[in-house]
Amino acid sequence: MEIEKLPHRPRWSWWDAMMVLVALFALIPVTWALRKIIKNAVTALGVTGSSLQTLLLFSATVIQATVMVLAVIVLTRRKGSTGKDLGLIWQNPRNKILTGLLGGLVLGIGVIGVGALVSAITGPPPPQDIERFFSGIKTGRDLWLPFISVSVLAPFSEELYFRGMIYPLFRVRLGPAGAMVLSALFFGALHLDLYRLIPISAGGIVLAYFYERTGSLLTSMVAHSTWNTLMLLMLFLAGGVTR
């Protein structure tokens, strides 16, 4: 596989990276307001085919992904950076996609194993928000919006930020190995789930490795999507939804 060389030194700064988080946290009230609007609209219109929970998940993810992507692009372009500087490199996509699919499958299984080991030591963790959303799924049609949210929007936006923007900032000072670990811990911490910090951070290390190895976010995006899809299917099957 042809390996793209990562930029030696990113043109953006930690200040730019933190401004992305400021933009995200500033929109939390908007997200909560939208949840209420959607709930009222679903009740008034009697919308069917998608549960209220999946509509809320979808709307929140769309807001998060849109703000994260726009903030990263605007802040890095202000410094003269291009998409290539962020790892948006699409040459030889078949090999990168295949690596991402196979790597994401192994990653998902590995994270499940790490999570099981942590649970055996600390006890079962409380359910994630996504698990609560699945309580409202009645038919297979309700799976489409969570799939778009968890397997498409989240991987694209999170890889652009955590691997495309954050990882190079660590890498320029610590080298690849140290950057993989610290950027992964940053990735895990911002999921705001102490019980799953170790499994998520372990996954972040692997995703950073894919980016370092291939020089393209396409590989880590596909791997991240495959990992999330595996988790989604497990929850789906565990819920006993048959249609």
Cβ neighbors of 55 (< 8 A, separation 6 or more) are 38, 42, 47, 145
pLDDT range class, residue 243, cuts 50, 70, 90: very low
The most confident of the ranges 28-37, 48-57, 171-180, 234-243 is 171-180
Query: Does pTM surpass 0.75?
Result: yes
Q: What is the pLDDT of residues 2-20, one digit of tens each?
A: 455 665 689 999 999 999 9
Taking 80 as the threshold, does the pLDDT of residue 42 lie above it? no
* Percent of the chain surpassing pLDDT 90: 49
Rg of the Cα atoms in the chain: 18
Provide the residue ranges of all domains of the chain, joining segments of one domain with +: 14-238
End-to-end Cα, the chain, rounded Å: 41
Q: What is the pLDDT of residues 154-166, one digit of tens each?
A: 999 999 999 999 9
* pLDDT score of 229: 93
Judged on CB neighbours under 10 Å (0-12, 13-18, 19+), 26 is exposed
Mean pLDDT along residues 63-82: 92
* In contact, 166 and 87? CB cutoff 8 Å: no
Mean pLDDT along residues 21-39: 78
Mean pLDDT along residues 211-236: 92
Mean pLDDT along residues 41-56: 62
* pLDDT score of 241: 46
Taking 60 as the threshold, does the pLDDT of residue 75 lie above it? yes
* In contact, 100 and 219? CB cutoff 8 Å: yes
